[in-house]
Amino acid sequence: MLDDLLGRTELKREIEALEGEVERLEEQLEAEEARRADAVTERQAAQRRANKLEDRVTQLEDQVERLQDGETTLSYHRETDLNGRDLDAVLARLESVETGPQGALSAYVADGHDRPAELREAFGERAALVSRAAPCLALGDDESLVSVCLRPPVAPDPFVEWGDGFRIEREWFQPRGRYTLALVRSDLFAMGTYQGDERTAFHGFDSDLKSQHSKGGFSQARFERLRDEQIDEHLDRCVAALEKRETDRLYVVGERSVLGEMMHIADATGAVDATGDPEDALRDAWESFWTVQLWVL
């Protein structure tokens, strides 16, 4: 009775209603965060599948070309990935090779469809395998004792030369000196300053990217336009961060779909599948970037 007279009954009802609304909103927020996490995971998985499909398309195109050229029986003797001590040992062995004057061929082949005449001279019919591995550094000798291709993370300008040993620059394959390596995705940025293989500084951030279209409210086209605008804003923020880096050399890795925006400022780029929070993703991206593919012809 007293509560009714003082108006406390109505206030209590309002408080209960507000508390219920707060609880409902908290549940809605938790559900939305869970959906967003699931959507990001699904998008990353889709990107990985797309990368694998692009690689498969390239392989099939090479196979069609080989079939047209009658090169149906050629295959590599060995294919592997190298890093760390294994890479160092392979490079040291190749550097130790000595031949007579003009007995060792070194050639960086950027385009698999462009075969310098020297490749046929050094590798014969297996020059087709060099084209298949391109972009790559091809090394061979006039006695056909060494026939290998390596894909360096930091590509030199195309060249072809004969000498008494192979031309191998360690900075093409291994981290040297001071540089910046950045991971750029449509929803994440991570940048590290390095001295050799040691990271000395880190900067990174996530982007709150729309990951799915909500039914109703606005059209799919508008949703996609808003999402593209968010990605553009994120990439602008990434470029601004990169312009504040403390080193001259810059390597950028990440999603194929965004790397094109970075090529004008990067010394080298590479597609990688690095996931997780910015710092963990950058660690995976660094290891991926400095991994070298080797083919023994």
pLDDT at 5: 45
Q: Give the CA angle between residues 146, 149, 154 to the nearest 5°.
A: 135
* Domain boundaries 178-285, CATH class: alpha beta
The more confidently predicted of residues 226 and 124 is 124
Split at pLDDT 50, 70, 90, the class of 285 is very high
pLDDT at 15 over 90: no
Report percent pLDDT > 90 for the chain.
Answer: 52
Tens of pLDDT, residue by residue over 92-109, are 999 999 999 999 999 999
C-alpha–C-alpha distance, residues 153 and 174, integer Å: 8
- CA distances (Å), origin 4, targets 14, 15, 16: 14, 15, 16
| Most trustworthy range by pLDDT among 17-21, 48-52, 194-198 | 194-198
Whether this model's pTM surpasses 0.75: no
Beta bridge partners of 191: 182, 203
User: In the predicted model, what is the mean pLDDT of residues 262-277?
Assistant: 90
pLDDT at 73 over 60: yes
The more confidently predicted of residues 244 and 43 is 244
C-alpha–C-alpha distance, residues 74 and 178, integer Å: 41
pLDDT at 270: 93
